[in-house]
Amino acid sequence: MSKPLDRRTFLKKATAAGVGLGVLGGFSTVRGKSAPNNKVVVAIAGLHGRGGVHAQSFGENPNAEIAYICDVDSRVVEQRVAQVQDIQGKKPKGITDFREALDDKSVDALVIATPDHWHTPMAIYALKAGKHVYVEKPCGQNPREGELLVAAQKKYRKVVQMGNQQRSALKSIQAINDLRDGIIGTPYYARAWYANDRDTIGHGVEAPVPEWLDWKLWQGPAPHIKYRDNLVHYNWHWFWRWGTGEVCNNGTHEIDVARWALDVDYPSRVDSGGGRYAFDDDWEFFDTQMITYQFGDDKTITWQGRSCNPRPVEGRGRGTAVHGTKGTLIVDRNGYVVYDMDNKEVKNVTGQSMSKSMDVAGGGSLTDMHIQNFLDAIRDDVEPHSPIDEGAKSVLMCHLGNIAQKLGRQLDIDPHTGRIRDDEEAMKMWSREYEIGWEPTV
């Protein structure tokens, strides 16, 4: 048996072989500099969870150099600076305010893994400073921010890639190619799901701000409140002020795959049901949610999210089943399986182990390949696998599900723009209020 590659060796071989280049291209974006012999110098903002994965992946990539580590938690800055220095052999500068890195002309790109309410404002700051952007999903805290970020990319003409890394999974790309070739006939229904066993977040209380935290900058563009003891660093996901709920946190990935598989853009109708059932605590979003998206009269996507019950679907904690006129294709981060109309397995392209739905950091080779694709888009004439105009469509679907759930009714959607039609109350949730001086503008 051959010895498995370590991550450094994998990245070197992937770079040399062109892994992640231009498969299923066709998206339009304007490149930055074309400098294949130079490293892309990056600053990473938000290093506690997912950002730690970026520190590892960008640090090990021979085409990148991490120059800045930016975080409002001084403990995390110290930890990641040491981590990156050990990986790349060069010490990055640790800072609290990301804007210091944007002032450095040697920095080519900003990598954003902050809480959701920072994603679009920070990305637009970076674009205005002439930087490329890798932004984690969701690309915006509300639908309007997605529109603003797409407009900013078009105006400043830099690469903006969203971190829905399954778009760079070679087996997922192969699955989409098989769908386009008619392996299950005409696909018409995609069923996506996510299951976890999250615990209660309890009831927080006002507390002194920890000495290691810049609470004012952590809040940034969100209207400021006093510090509470059950928000930082992860539970903010479940509050409307900063987060976007499970559907944007994890559903974005599978809903994006479903939309990719069915080759659709915006729905015409959205409906959602569910609630907060598992615990009585401060969690404001939904631990159980079922969303239905109708695309005209011939295609449908559903998403089932269970934050507090890990029972798998099709033997998987997360995934997407695509049903067609001649069979079914089930795809997740490890590969895909195809069944005919008699439920007979006709193709199996999967790995040895299944993905862990409880992994809140989400590291691994898919992230490495997605980052490689981002770097290739900056350095060479390569299409990003998830340009922001595509990523924003999938994130908008998640926001529409939350709006439908919050209001308790079906939404009528303009299939050409994705905007809600004839519903002033729903459109009030299209944007948000900002802390004075932090409103994002293109």
Instruction: Give φ, ψ of 301 to 5 degrees.
Output: -125, 135
Strand order in the sheet with 93-95: 93-95, 64-70, 40-45, 109-112, 132-135, 160-162
d(CA 184, CA 187): 7
CA distance 140 to 138: 5
Exposure on the CB side of residue 88, measured as CA atoms within 13 A:
26
Nearest to 58 by CA among 95, 23, 108, 114: 108
DSSP state of 168: G
Q: According to DSSP H, which parts of 18-110 are helical?
A: 50-60, 74-88, 99-102
Contact 244, 261 (CB under 8 A): no
Say yes or no to pLDDT of 21 above 70: no
324 strand-pairing partners: 187, 327
Q: Is 418 left (phi over 0), alpha (psi -120 to 50) or beta?
A: left
Cα of first residue to Cα of last residue in the chain, in angstroms, is 54
pLDDT of 31 above 60: no
CA–CA dist 151, 157 (Å, integer): 10
pLDDT surpasses 80 at 32: no
373 vs 317: CA distance, rounded Å: 27
Nearest alpha-carbon partner for 286 in 222, 198, 363, 361: 198
The continuous run of DSSP H or E covering 405 comes out as helix 388-407
Q: Which of 7-11, 116-120, 360-364 has the highest mean pLDDT?
A: 116-120
CA gap 412, 376 in Å, rounded: 39
> How far apart are the C-alpha atoms of 378 and 20, rounded to whole Å?
13
Over residues 248-260, mean pLDDT: 98
* pLDDT greater than 70 at residue 190: yes
Predicted confidence (pLDDT) per residue in 404-414, tens digit: 999 999 999 99
394-404 burial by CB neighbour count: b if 16+ within 10 A, else e?
bbbbbbbbbbb
Indicate the domain borders of the chain.
11-167+370-379, 169-202+231-357+388-427
CATH number 3.40.50.850 is the correct assignment for the domain at 11-167+370-379:
no
**What gap in Å lies between CA 67 and CA 108, rounded to an integer?**
10
Residue 25 confidence (pLDDT): 35
Find tokens 């990598």 and name the residue. 111
Class for domain 169-202+231-357+388-427, per CATH?
Answer: alpha beta
- Judge whether 142 and 399 are in contact, CB under 8 Å: yes
Indicate the pairing of strand 327-332 with strand 335-340.
antiparallel
**Which amino acid appears at position 30 of this protein?**
V
Closest CA to 45 of 136, 162, 141, 106: 136
Domains 11-167+370-379 and 169-202+231-357+388-427 share a fold: no
Q: Give ∠ CA 360-365-368 in degrees, rounded to 5.
A: 90
Give the model confidence (pLDDT) of 142-185 as tens digits.
999 999 999 999 999 999 999 999 999 999 999 999 999 999 99
Mean pLDDT, the chain, as a whole number? Answer: 91
Residue 6, pLDDT score: 46
Coil, strand or helix: which one is 141? coil
In the prediction, which pLDDT does 355 show? 47
Residue among 171, 175, 172, 153 at smallest CA distance from 162 = 153
Rg (CA), the chain: 21
Model pLDDT, residue 262: 98
Q: What is the mean predicted confidence (pLDDT) over 337-366? A: 76
